[in-house]
Structure 1
C-alpha cells in the first residue's frame, strides 16, 4: 500500500479499523483524484481497481455481422492486391538484370515495406479493430506496433531518397550518379533511422484485459506511457506530433520542392536550338518517370493525412474516443492509409511500360498458361539492327522484350554468321536461328574483340 503515494497517510493500524465501505471510499478517492503524480504502475493499479469496482456493463461498439462482412471484403481485396502486386514488383526487379537500376532498388525497398506492413501489421490490426479484442498476446502487441511505425517511416524516407535521386539526374546530370552500392547503403540507413523512430513502441507497448458484468473479457493493445495512455497522455501526444512532422510534413515538403524544380526543368525550360532525336527521347523518358513519382507522392499524402490527423484531433477531443461511431471512423481512416500499399503497384503498371510488360507476363502465366505454351512453340523472328548511335539492339516480334546490349564505340559492320539461314535488307540482318547470334564478328573494332550479346531472361 505504501507503494502508492495517495494512501501513504493511512498507516496499517488505521487501515485495520476501517470497514469495507471506508476502504472502498478510499479507493474511489484514489481513482478520481487529479493530484496523483502519474507513473505506469499507478495507472495500471488504478485501471485494475476501476474494473474491479465498476465493471463495464456491455461490450462496447459491437459491429453487426453485415458491417463485419463489408469490412472483411474491403480489407480482403485491399490486402490481396497489395501483397500480390508488391510481390510481383519484387520478382520483376530481382529476376531481371535490366530492371536492377538504382531507382528500381528504391522501388524494391518500398514494396518490401508495403509487404511487411500488409502481412505483419494490417492483418492483425484489422482483426483487433473488427472485434475490439486483441487475441495475439503481449509480445506480438509490441512487434505489431513496432512494425507499423517502422514500415511507414521506411516508405516515406524511400520516397524522399527517390526524389533526391531524380533531382540529381535531371537538374545536375553531369554529377556523379548514385551507384547501386550507395543506394543499398542509403536503404540500410533508412531502415536504421526508421527503427530508432519506432523504438518507443518496444518500450511502452502492453496489453490490458477489461472485465464486464456479463462475464466477458476484452484485451486491448496500446502504448502505456509513463504519464498515462492515449488519448490523455501528453507523451503519447508529443510522440504522435513527432511522427506527423518527421514522416509526413517534412518529407512531403521536401518532395514538393524537388519535384517542382524538376517540373520546371523538364516542362518549363526553353533551350536555344533544336534537340536531337536522342535528346528528345531522353527528355520524354524523364518526364514519364517524374510524372509517375509525382502521382505516387500525391497519393501517399492523400492516403496518410486523415490517419495522422485522427490521433492529434482525438487528443483535443477526448469524447470522440468514447463515441459510438469512432470504430467505423478509425476503420475507414486505417483502410485509406493501408490502401496506399495497394495503389503503388497499380501506378507502376499504369505508367511504366517495362513494369506493365512483366505484370502482363505474370498475369498471362497464371490465368492463360495454354496461350503461353503455344507462343513458346511458335518460331521467333529475331533481327539485329544498327541505329544512328552505333548501338546494336536485339528485338523480338512476339515477346517484345527489350534486351540490354553492349554499346560499340565505332560503327560496326555486322557479318552474317550463316548466309543460308539469314537474309539482309537495308542494313538489317534477319537471323532465323536464335543460336546463331550469340557471338557476332565486328570489323573495325580497335582490339579486334568479339561483341558478345547478352541475353537476359
Structure 2
C-alpha cells in the first residue's frame, strides 16, 4: 500500500541491483537466506500485544460511534454524519490495515497472493485517505458554524455529497498505487524456517516504470494526505479558538459568574481543538518521515534492515493509534455525543423511556436572546400517563440561557393530539 505497506527497499536505488543482474549466472555466495520470522518470540509477542490492543480499541470505539449515530435518529446531524464517516473509515483501517501490517512486520516477505496485494493496498490507502479528509471536513464544518454562524447552513444532503466526494477523491489518489502494486519473487533470496526448510522470497511492492516516479508519488501523497490537511486543521482550529475568546459573555445573567463559566467552557473547547491538531500531526509524522527517508535517502542494507524490522512497526502502530483514538477525541469529549450514547443504550434497556423523559440532541441552529450557538442540547420532558399540570399546559418552550428562563405562551399547534405539551428545555452545549 502506498501509505502503510510500501516496502522501504523498493525506494532505494541500490536495493534491486541483484535483480538488474539476474541474467547472469549466480554464484553460490550470491544467494541470500533470511529467517522466516523477523523477530524473536519475545519481541514478536510484544508487537502482537501492542497491535491487538489498538485493534480492539479501534473496533470497539468506532463500532460504538456508528451505533450511536445509526440508532438515535436525533443524532443524525451534519457534524455527526461526518463523525460517522470518520468511524467507518477508521473501522476499515483497523480491519484491513492492522492485521496485514502486523503479519508483514513479523514475517519476512509477502505471505499472500497478488490479488490480496492489490486489493488490500487499495482499501488501506482509501481508508487512511478518507479518514484524513473527514478530519478536514469536520474542521471546516466547525469553522463555518462558529466563525460564520449566519451563513447558509450545510444540509444533510450536502454533507452526504461531501462524503461521497471524499471517497471518490481517496480512490483517485490511491489508483496509481493499486495499479503498480505487484508481487514479485526474488530469484536469489530465500527464507529459512526453524526446521531449516527454505521458501521462495516474495515481496509486494510498487513496480513503477521509472524509479523517480515513486519519489514523486510519495511526495504527492505526503503533501495531500498529511501536509495540506495538517495546515488546514491548524488554521481552522486557530481561527475557531480566536473567535471563541473574542466573543463576549452572553447577557441576561450576572456578568462575573457567567464570564467565568464561559471562559472555562471556551478553554475546554480550545484544549480539545489543540489535542486534535497535535495528535494528528504527531501520530502520522514518524511514518511519513520514514517513507520520505527511504525514498530520498541512500541507506545501506543494515540501515534498511533496522528501519524495516524495528522502526517501521512502531511508526505503523502510532499511525494506527490515531484511528483508534479518534472515537475518544470526537466522541467522548463531545457532550452531545456522550449523552447521545447514553440515551441510545437507555432506550434499548427501557423501551425508549426512562422516568418519563427522553433526551434529544440536535445541531439545528436556534436564535435565543438574539444569538446562540450551532450545537445545542434539547431535553424534552415527556408528559406522564396522567397528563401535564395546568402550568405545563400553559407554558410552552422554556429556552434556558445561562440559568435564566424565557417563557412564551404555548401555541395551539404545539400541542399534541392528547392535549399535552412537550416542553423542551434548551441549553447551549459548547460542543463545537
Using the size of structure 2 for normalisation, the TM-score is 0.72
Output the CA distance in 2 between the equivalents of 1:406 and 1:56. Answer: 64
Alpha carbons 2:69, 2:81 under 8 Å: kept: yes
Within the alignment, does 1:298 sit opposite 2:278 as a pair?
A: yes
- Aligned counterpart for 1:341 among listed residues 301, 319, 323: 323
1:55-111 superposed Cα distances (whole Å, 9 cap, x missing partner): 213338731011111111110011011011101111111110111110011111111
Is the contact between residue 404 and residue 454 of structure 1 (CA under 8 Å) also seen in structure 2?
no
CA RMSD of aligned residues (A): 4.1
Query: Normalized against structure 1, the TM-score is what?
Result: 0.68
Please give the per-residue CA displacement for 1:314-354, whole angstroms capped at 9, x wherever unaligned. 23132265334531111000100011111111224531234
Could you list the per-position Cα deviations for residues 93-138 of structure 1 after superposition, in whole angstroms to 9, with x for gaps in the alignment? 1110111110011111111111111111221121122112322210
Q: Of residues 268, 282, 299 in structure 2, which corresponds to 1:318?
A: 299
**Pairing of 1:44-63 with structure 2 (within 5 A):** 46=21, 54-59=30-35, 62-63=38-39
Question: What is the distance in 2 between the residues matched to 1:107 and 1:159?
Answer: 8
Once the two structures are TM-superposed, the CA of residue 255 in structure 1 deviates from its matched residue by 1.6
CA gap 1:191/1:49 in 2 versus in 1, 3 angstroms: farther
**Are 1:104 and 2:86 matched, yes or no?**
no
Larger Rg: 1
In 2, the alpha carbon distance for the partners of 1:145 and 1:317 equals: 25
Structure 1 residues 348 and 322: CA distance shift in structure 2, 3 A: closer
Distance 2:214 2:243 in 1: 43
Q: Deviations over 1:405-432 (max 9, x none)?
A: 99999xxxxxx989x9467497599xxx
Residue 350 of structure 2 corresponds to residue 350 of structure 1: no
- Higher normalized contact order (CA 8 Å, seq sep 6+, divided by chain length): 2
CA gap 1:325/1:240 in 2 versus in 1, 3 angstroms? closer
Q: 1:361 to 1:50 in 2, by over 3 A?
A: farther
Gaps of 5+ in 1: 1-33, 35-39, 228-232, 366-371, 383-394, 410-415, 430-441
Q: Please give the per-residue CA displacement for 1:253-309, whole angstroms capped at 9, x wherever unaligned.
A: 112111111111101x154x85246x9899987876665444233211111011001
Task: Determine if contact 2:63/2:91 at 8 Å carries over to the other structure.
Answer: yes
User: Where does the alignment leave 5 or more consecutive residues of structure 2 unmatched?
Assistant: 1-12, 193-197, 368-381, 395-407, 425-432
Total equivalences in the alignment:
365
